[in-house]
Amino acid sequence: MRVLALDIGNSNVKVGIFDLGRLVHFWRIQTETGYPERVTAQIDHFLSHELPKELTPDGLTYCNVVPELEAAIIPTITDRFHIDTSHVIAVSPGGNVRIPIDLNGYPVEQLGPDRLVNVCAAHYLFPDRNALIVDFGTATTFDLVDRTGQFLGGVITPGMETFWGILAKKTARLDDVLWYKPESVLGKNTSQCLQAGLSAGYAGLYAETIRQIQAERPDMEFLILGTGGLAEPFQKLTDYAFKMDHVDPWLTIKGLYHIYKHTIPSSGL
């Protein structure tokens, strides 16, 4: 059985296709929030020209943080491939999904579906370890789950591009500035000052957040798992100064597949 997994985000739609349990293809489609008809056209083009015919999906699983895009994308896919509704798993409040995680009182309607999927992915992929998942996207989120599947809470901060974009609205010629770490934190011109602010400032945000989590849970050793489209740019920007035990830009996609298996155990996956 083949399963199509979608992570519908503010900046991108990540797409993965699983065949016999293996992620065999993945894509990233830039989205235009506020223009669902354009996104529908993009998805339709993708289904027509990029998805190999021999990988036509039998099932669909997705999470979404942009409701107007869900309404545009999901019917396009289910209609084209005639996917039965019993094989469509939506990871959302009120969705038809089962998860192996105890949220410990965290209101499920307040936990972003991408964060929920990341926690499930970490628990599936590293079942004997505590894990801190750091997702570098429009927001950068930190979520902690222990080896027994207990969700211990999280942190939400502005993402790197969001952090940068705030300055873009206020600072002239920001678009001319490249993302890299300058030789000195004390810039000698505006571009270097901005580069220092992003590299040193965002590195400080990351390091201090990790430090406080570790200080609050001194009894706990945990893996640090990086994901999201900006995980690797963050590492380059900081000269790989911060150890991450595992970096996987497709962690959310893999989590969606494992949730699909958990929700439909009779699917034969």
- Where in the sequence numbering do the catalytic residues fall? 114
Strand partners, 25: 17
**Rounded (5°) CA angle 76-11-34:** 65
- Tokens in use for 169? 């609205």
Residue 176, φ and ψ in degrees, nearest 5: -85, -5
